[in-house]
Amino acid sequence: MPFYKMILVGAAMLAACSAAPASHADGGSLASVPGQRGDGQAYEILGTQVFDVPDPASGIPYQVFVSLPNSYGEDSSRTYPTVYVTDADYGFPMLRLIGRRMNGEGPRVEEFILVGLSYGKGQGGMESRRRDYTPTPNGPVGAPADARHGESLRYRDYLRDTVMPFIDGKLRTRPDRRIYVGHSYGGLLGAQILMTDPAMFSGYVLGSPSFWYDKRHLLRETPQLLAQRDNLSAAVYLYVGEFEAVRAGDRRYNREADMVADNRRFAELLEARAYPGLKLKSEVLAGEDHLSVAPRGFTQGLLHLLPAANPAD
């Protein structure tokens, strides 16, 4: 299967696995969460909230999904780090579950407020993500002729100027402790934010960034973007699956884009700058491909960037 079509199929599969968020905002124990509605109605993720937060610049009607930590209602003075995840249709329920499961037998990950960045309301995943997460209007071969690409800087500004103030004004957040999580096109967007406005987030989980996009445009621009900065203060966890490399004779590997090599090159360019404020960890996760690697990468990213203060043994 051509690489671009694999991305399309993967996005559709992941989006199909998500559940419809609910309007409940419980933050307490599981015992206090009401049951599902029944009678054939849609399954909901109980204990979550949905807010309409449109982009004033473009008029696109986005929503944000919010999940509060279990302890949120126990101490009204406590503040929390915030984790923002792109592709919220699958990333939001996935990260919410990972954050809870990792602490099931004692603290391993610090509690956090989770914010899911949804697609445009009423729009399909690929329609939104190829418009909002890509750096140039030059879409891949095979994309629909009328598809919009290349609005990532507009979307970055929407996150910084609209979504973040909305979340910080409504919830007890730590504005100095924001974590970005994105996979594929979401990883590409995160890499661009890291190099153009790094202070937006204190930490970045960049999963299998699609550096192949537009003949590796962002990767080619990386040296110039980094040269404009004397320092880059952020903790970065960069991951990619073993089978995202190109290898002949083995169908498990990519056939076109060598994302392992691209990730390695990006890490090398970051390391070469020797920024005093940059903490970088880059991993190739064995046995994983572009579709299987995200849950594992998200888990390792949380463990690396938000370790519990007193982790369980």
**Predicted confidence (pLDDT) per residue in 180-199, tens digit:** 999 999 999 999 999 999 99
Amino acid at 64: V
* Rounded average pLDDT over 115-135: 96
Query: Is residue 29's pLDDT more than 70?
Result: no
Q: Across all residues in the chain, what is the average pLDDT?
A: 90
Q: What is the model's pLDDT at position 28?
A: 42
CB 174 within 8 A of CB 82: yes
DSSP secondary structure, 117-180, as one string: EEEETT--HHHHHHHHS-SSS-PPTTS-TT-----HHHHHHHIIIIIHHHHHHHS-EEEEEEEE
* Rounded average pLDDT over 263-272: 98
More confident residue, 132 or 13: 132
Q: What is the model's pLDDT at position 30?
A: 45
Closest CA to 269 of 259, 255, 285, 280: 280
Residue 41, SS3 per DSSP:
coil
**Predicted confidence (pLDDT) per residue in 40-52, tens digit:** 999 999 999 999 9
**Predicted confidence (pLDDT) per residue in 57-98, tens digit:** 999 999 999 999 999 999 999 999 999 999 999 999 999 999
Q: Which domains does the chain have, with CATH numbers?
A: 3-16+48-305 (3.40.50.1820)
Helical residues (DSSP H) of the chain, grouped into ranges: 3-16, 88-101, 125-132, 152-158, 164-170, 185-196, 213-227, 259-273, 293-305
Q: What is the model's pLDDT at position 32?
A: 61
Which tokens is 147 given?
Answer: 């598809």
Q: What is the model's pLDDT at position 313?
A: 60
Tell me how long the chain is. 313
Query: Is residue 297's pLDDT more than 60?
Result: yes
